[in-house]
């Protein structure tokens, strides 16, 4: 089953790479002319097209790009002449840091809120948490980000409105500057995980072994934590990993709002300057990360589900 998931993941990634290449090919206009501007001559346009490989047939360009990518060679950025792998390395590390920071906040918070909502089902607390989390997820990321900036950066002045970090930024300074972006991502994803945890635990509370534990006089909190939660891990882990994938690949809007130097900001800047190799490299990295984390979610679902781990 795991080998089947791996094969499907590789096939999906191949299909996504083809879609990315065809999508870039379908962009209107000539990329070389757009980069050189209106003052470009036919000779300079032809030279840049040869440099970018645009003079080759599309299928040759695709397999050349795919072969280089499999060897770790993403090419050279047209905008600044730097190696794309070097350019992406720093930006992707920044994106991973922001996603990890948001995950460290959102995952424990969602589990605690979900367990308490199941423990006090249909209470004022349960309804209040559902209203707040559903309201936060109903707003788009940029709206949540601007609200947080208005409250905590402009009015209160507690945190900076721009998350400008660099290699010289210390760890705690980086954490301080990333509080608002991480809070934005947390408010967006915590509702999914909280509601899945609540639903999985409530579903298990009707099981016969839970009724037996109730008849033995065990406390409700002990029943949920020690009996219901371990058996609810499969759907909970699945939704947590999928939301972690969103934290990594869905940060584009958040990074643009806070001018955070991550991979999302890089792909937006590259689209603006028609830096096609960088756009393709960022897109395939986002796609590979999402496929990998979804594959991880499938494997964890198998591992945490005895019926799938030991099929009869």
Tokens found for residue 135 = 């309201």
| Domain that residue 183 falls in | 92-272
- The number of beta carbons lying within 10 Å of the beta carbon of residue 11 is 11
CATH code, 161: 1.10.3720.10
Q: What is the rounded distance in angstroms from the CA atom of residue 1 to the CA atom of residue 289?
A: 21
* pLDDT tens readout for residues 156-215: 888 888 878 877 878 888 888 888 888 888 888 888 788 877 877 777 777 787 778 777
Instruction: Assess whether 200 and 59 both reside in one domain.
Output: no
* pLDDT tens readout for residues 81-100: 777 788 888 888 888 888 88
Q: Is residue 109 part of a domain?
A: yes
Residue 32 has a pLDDT of 64
The pTM of this model reads 0.76
**Average pLDDT over the chain, rounded to whole?**
78
Q: Is residue 134 part of a domain?
A: yes
Q: Is residue 82 part of a domain?
A: no
Q: What is the rounded distance in angstroms from the CA atom of residue 312 to the CA atom of residue 300?
A: 19
Instruction: Assess whether 63 and 135 both reside in one domain.
Output: no
Maximum distance among all Cα pairs of the chain, rounded to whole angstroms: 86
Helices (H), the chain: 2-25, 31-36, 42-52, 58-70, 84-119, 124-138, 141-148, 171-177, 179-204, 208-215, 220-223, 229-231, 233-249, 252-257, 263-272, 276-303, 306-309
Mean pLDDT of 53-58: 70
Least confident of 135-139, 278-282, 308-312: 308-312
- Burial tier of 224 (Cβ tally within 10 Å: 0-12, 13-18, 19+): buried
Question: Measured between alpha carbons, how far apart are the two ends of the chain, in Å?
Answer: 14
Instruction: Assess whether 100 and 7 both reside in one domain.
Output: no
For the chain, the domain total comes to: 2
Q: What is the rounded distance in angstroms from the CA atom of residue 288 to the CA atom of residue 281?
A: 10
pLDDT confidence band for 6 (50 / 70 / 90): confident
């Amino acid at each position: 089953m795991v080998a089947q998931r791996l094969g499907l993941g590789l096939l999906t990634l191949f299909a996504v790479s083809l879609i990315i290449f065809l999508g870039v090919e379908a962009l209107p206009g000539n990329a070389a002319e757009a980069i050189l501007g209106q003052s470009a001559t036919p000779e300079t346009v032809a030279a840049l097209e040869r440099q970018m490989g645009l003079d080759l047939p599309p299928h040759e360009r695709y397999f050349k790009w795919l072969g280089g990518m499999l060897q770790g060679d993403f090419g050279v950025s047209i905008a600044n002449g730097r190696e794309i792998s070097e350019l992406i390395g720093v930006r992707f590390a920044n994106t991973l840091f922001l996603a990890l920071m948001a995950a460290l906040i959102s995952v424990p918070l969602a589990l605690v809120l979900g367990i308490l909502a199941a423990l006090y089902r249909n209470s004022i607390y349960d309804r209040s948490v559902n209203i707040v989390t559903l309201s936060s997820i109903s707003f788009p990321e940029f709206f949540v980000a601007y609200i947080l900036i208005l409250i905590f950066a402009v009015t209160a002045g507690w945190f900076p409105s721009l998350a400008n970090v660099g290699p010289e930024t210390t760890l705690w300074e980086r954490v301080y500057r990333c509080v608002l972006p991480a809070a934005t991502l947390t408010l967006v994803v915590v509702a999914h995980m909280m509601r899945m945890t609540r639903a999985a635990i409530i579903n298990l509370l009707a099981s016969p072994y839970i009724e037996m534990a109730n008849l033995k006089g065990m406390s409700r909190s002990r029943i949920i934590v020690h009996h219901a939660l371990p058996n609810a891990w499969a759907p909970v882990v699945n939704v947590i990993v999928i939301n972690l994938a969103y934290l990594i690949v869905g940060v584009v809007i958040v990074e643009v709002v806070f001018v955070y130097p991550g991979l999302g900001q890089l792909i937006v800047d590259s689209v603006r300057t028609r830096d096609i190799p960088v756009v393709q490299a960022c897109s395939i990295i986002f796609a590979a990360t999402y496929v990998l984390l979804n594959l991880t979610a499938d494997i964890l679902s198998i591992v945490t589900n005895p019926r799938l781990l030991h099929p009869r």
